[in-house]
Structure 1
Amino acid sequence: MKAWKSISNSTLALLVCFVMGAIVGIVAAPVGAAAYFVGQLYLSVVNMAAVPLLVVAMFFGLRQLLAMSRPGVRIGTMLMLAVVLVALCAAGGVALAAIAMPGQHLSSVAHARLGELVLQSTSDTRVVLFGHAASSATVTPGGFSLGDLVPDNFYHALAQGRALGILTGTILFGMAFAALSSEQTPMLNSVFEGIYRALESVIGYANLLLPVLAFGMAAHLSAHVQRATIDAMSGFLLCFVLSALLLSALALAAIARQAGTSFGRALTSLKTPMLVGLASGSATAPIPHTIEAMSTRLGFSRGVAELVVPFGSVFVRAGSALYFALAAVFVANLYDRPIGMADIVVIGVASTVAALMSAGQNGVVSVGYIGVVLSLLQLPVEAAGVLFITIDVICEGPRNLLSLLSICTVVALVSAGLPSERTPLPAALAAAGARPVFRFTFSRAQLVLAMSCVVAAASLIVLMGIGVGAK
């Protein structure tokens, strides 16, 4: 079990599984299909456990945050920082796209391939800001209604997995729970604590299947995604992945600065949630690992982490903002539409709005929100539907990684001035800045046995040397 856990937490092992899966998907598709099926089961289990974990974690987070000094200021700061970071990622995406200009220098073969895909598309993307009461509970791709945000039946929202409605009900119940004194809710605290730890264990054991998921996803991609399409979209893919990694590195540097530690230490502390977010493509799977890493390892307030991380997994869509901005520039270049300064501002603002509107949506469903940006530029929305759905599985990991580190940045900034939660070293070692020293102690019998083994080994070496010299 320990060996398999180390494999699931190893970057090199997951990379090897991904490469092997890509090869197996070409030469042995049934094996890849079986691994992909197991990976989907893993995602189902994680999402099943992550939704109630999100609810319970926010209960504890709200209670601890409201007990701190100036809770209103901290909550307001959290909301403001979340919006600002999403906007900064959208602005960064527009700036990087203006430099790289993806889609501008495509070959005639790539143009022909993308043209075929667009012509084959018959889908229609709708964006509904406020739906009628009769259809407010209906979730449609690319659609948003008031019933998604404020459900009239919390249990119905739980059953359908509607993250926005779940979050609204959780916040209201959590605030009422936090207003009660600890003397009034001792049993409820114990029940919530037990549920919290049990769900953490479920997700921890489920994450042991990360190598199988990476293997199965790679096999599925190599078996079903046409290489001509990947080649035609390679410019966008390269630009998006490099932009996401650059902005993720900046976010990680900000976290390290707030934690008062090195970039390498921060990277090591957050390695597990980053790997889970990259490999699983799920925004909720890294929640327990992120809370643990930000509080115990990096020292930020656990109450803030337990509130911001679940909230951010739904609302802080920094990766989506970057994705929408780059996609809009790519489509504009594909249709030879010049982009001026006013268009750059429109893309940045629209990408931020689209990212916030896509809160609670994951995967292919969130691709429809690219239409919000394209419609303002008077570009064909159907291009987004067919071109970006094809490659969305590849983009989902980097998109989640950037959103995850943006959430961690919010935790780091909101936790400023609060006591550190980091597990302390012994006082003498901390003062000397040294690492713990391992001491080896032996009993008299163990020492005699060890010396006997050393003498026996030395005698054997001498005898072997005499034998070799005699020959």
Structure 2
Amino acid sequence: MIGAGILCGLYYPAFAHAISPVAQLYLNFLKMVVLPYLVSSVIFSIMSMVQDPNSVRYLGRVGMAVLVVSFLSVLVSGTYSLVLQPGQIENPQSRIELGEFINSQGSVSTDLAFPYQPPPDEGADSGHSILLDLVPNNVFSALASGQTIQVLLFCLLFGLAMGKIPQPSSMSLSQALNAVYRACTVLTNWFIWGLPFATFILIADQTASTGTKPLTLMGGYLLVMGLSCLTFIAGAFAVIAIRSRRSYWVTIKTCQPLLMVAITTRSTVASLPWVINLLSERLRFSLVVVELLVPLQAALLRTGPALLYTSGVLFIAQLYGRPLAIPDLLLVGITSALLALTTGGMGSLLILSQMSIVCGYLKIPFEAAFALFVAVDAAVDTFMTLSSVCTVAASTAMIAPSHRETTQSVEAASEQLEAEPVR
């Protein structure tokens, strides 16, 4: 569909523009499900973890894994972006082509035709206002306005509080949240059938409007995403090799089917059964723990989106010549890590559109750059899926006990019982 969309946009641009509203309608359907899906899934998952003794045993380790993975995602992608500077285009001809591309984006060009102006200095209170923006004073207003980070914070706290309530009292709400979650999942599965056609329309319309120039303009950004993805894959293989006591090359060969599924489907959820099979059947980790941790960490360890938001915002800032001080870089890292946690169940384009939240904090325009990211969405989505899937597999291998460790603990317990004197 991507190839067909490119051909349609190049040879039948009028038709591509005529069918573009259909893709926008499809994106609106996807956005319609996001907040109910987010609220129900996060509250239900946190509440279940708190109430389930088997989950509580690993809750602290999973929380530590989220912090470590989020920090490393921001650090790796931010370092590559600052070193390689993909948004700084020195070639005058490329800058002219970029200006023509931005000015051709209709209503967006009105806001972007002027040179970038730095935001006004708001003084020391700007940092406090950002923190205040993260905490909702009215959760219903945050839901209505789509303030995703505020909604996520409320869901985390509300889920922890619900987990402390006795199960008979919280059973009705738990069943209601489970029903909403399953209904949103059904809707998402319905909408997924239209994804190839929406991809065709979006790519056709984008190609008709821009041609192939954005691919060359985004070459530096694709290099940053590719290197970041490769770094996490290499690190994940090292962790799995150490925990499974296999050589690095054997680990790569063992994980090859999982990599192929992730590349083919470009879906973290679709790859989860293969992650469970890899860790439990091939690498001999505890099946019960693996089945518990893999879905949970797939929702919390959002490595790919964190890489996208950090490197993407830095790319846009470099593109517009926006200087970033240390507080700005810290703000990008924190907001990117938090925003990545909200992307469970979202499609790649919807994940991409949420980059505007981080750009909004820095007061840099996002709308025109969005077209550039859409043009290379297939490659970026592949990098995101590979990073997330491999991170989930490595983190689960780090936390879950292996078959050898389980056997040794059982034998040690038996020897201790045998060594105790009979009373």
Give TM-score, length-normalised by structure 2. 0.66
1:121 to 2:114 alignment:
yes
Aligned match for 2:309, one of 304, 316, 320: 320
Counterpart position of 1:110: 94
1:80 to 2:65 alignment:
no
Q: Gapped runs of 5+ residues in structure 2?
A: 104-111, 245-250, 281-288, 341-350, 403-423
Query: Residues 425-440 of structure 1: matches in 2 within 5 Å?
Result: none
Aligned-partner residue type, residue 84 of structure 1? L
1:231 and 1:22 map into 2 onto residues whose CA distance is: 12
2:333 and 2:378 map into 1 onto residues whose CA distance is: 16
Counterpart position of 2:334: 356
Counterpart position of 1:52: 36
1:207 to 2:192 alignment:
yes
Q: 1:231 to 1:47 in 2, by over 3 A?
A: closer
Q: Is the 8 A contact 1:89 1:322 kept in 2?
A: yes
- Superposed displacement of residue 247, structure 1: 4.2
Larger radius of gyration: 1
1:38 to 2:22 alignment:
yes
- Superposed displacement of residue 222, structure 1: 0.9
2:120 and 2:235 map into 1 onto residues whose CA distance is: 31
SS in 1 for 2:57: coil
Q: 1:154 to 1:292 in 2, by over 3 A?
A: farther
Query: Residues 431-450 of structure 1: matches in 2 within 5 Å?
Result: none
Aligned-partner residue type, residue 265 of structure 1? P
User: Deviations along 1:246-276, whole A, 9 cap, x unmatched?
Assistant: 346446646865896722222245457x525
User: Deviations along 1:396-437, whole A, 9 cap, x unmatched?
Assistant: 5555554555444554454334379xxxxxxxxxxxxxxxxx
User: Deviations along 1:338-392, whole A, 9 cap, x unmatched?
Assistant: xxxxx9xx9999656414334549546736857999xxxxxxx98x869845513
Counterpart position of 1:462: none
1:264 to 2:256 alignment:
yes
Q: 1:102 to 1:165 in 2, by over 3 A?
A: closer
Aligned-partner residue type, residue 49 of structure 1? V
1:357 and 1:129 map into 2 onto residues whose CA distance is: 19
- Superposed displacement of residue 170, structure 1: 0.5
Give TM-score, length-normalised by structure 1. 0.60
Higher helix content, 1 or 2: 2
SS in 2 for 1:69: helix
Aligned match for 1:418, one of 383, 400, 406: 400
1:188 and 1:392 map into 2 onto residues whose CA distance is: 40
Counterpart position of 2:230: 246
User: Deviations along 1:59-113, whole A, 9 cap, x unmatched?
Assistant: 3432344332263353234223322232123224445x27xx785773x533544
1:22 to 2:3 alignment:
no
Count of paired positions:
360
- Superposed displacement of residue 49, structure 1: 2.2
Counterpart position of 1:275: 266
Counterpart position of 2:373: 392
Counterpart position of 1:197: 182
Counterpart position of 2:201: 216
| Range with bigger deviation, 17-26 or 43-52 | 43-52
2:2 and 2:386 map into 1 onto residues whose CA distance is: 23
Aligned-partner residue type, residue 82 of structure 1? S
Query: Alignment RMSD, CA only?
Result: 4.6
Counterpart position of 1:424: none
1:295 and 1:60 map into 2 onto residues whose CA distance is: 22
1:151 to 2:102 alignment:
no
Q: 1:297 to 1:70 in 2, by over 3 A?
A: closer
Q: Gapped runs of 5+ residues in structure 1?
A: 1-16, 137-143, 277-285, 336-342, 374-380, 421-471
Q: 1:19 to 1:315 in 2, by over 3 A?
A: closer
- Superposed displacement of residue 173, structure 1: 1.1
Percent identity, aligned pairs only, is 17
Counterpart position of 1:71: 59
Aligned match for 1:173, one of 151, 158, 176: 158
Aligned match for 1:225, one of 210, 223, 234: 210
Query: Residues 324-335 of structure 1: matches in 2 within 5 Å?
Result: 324=313
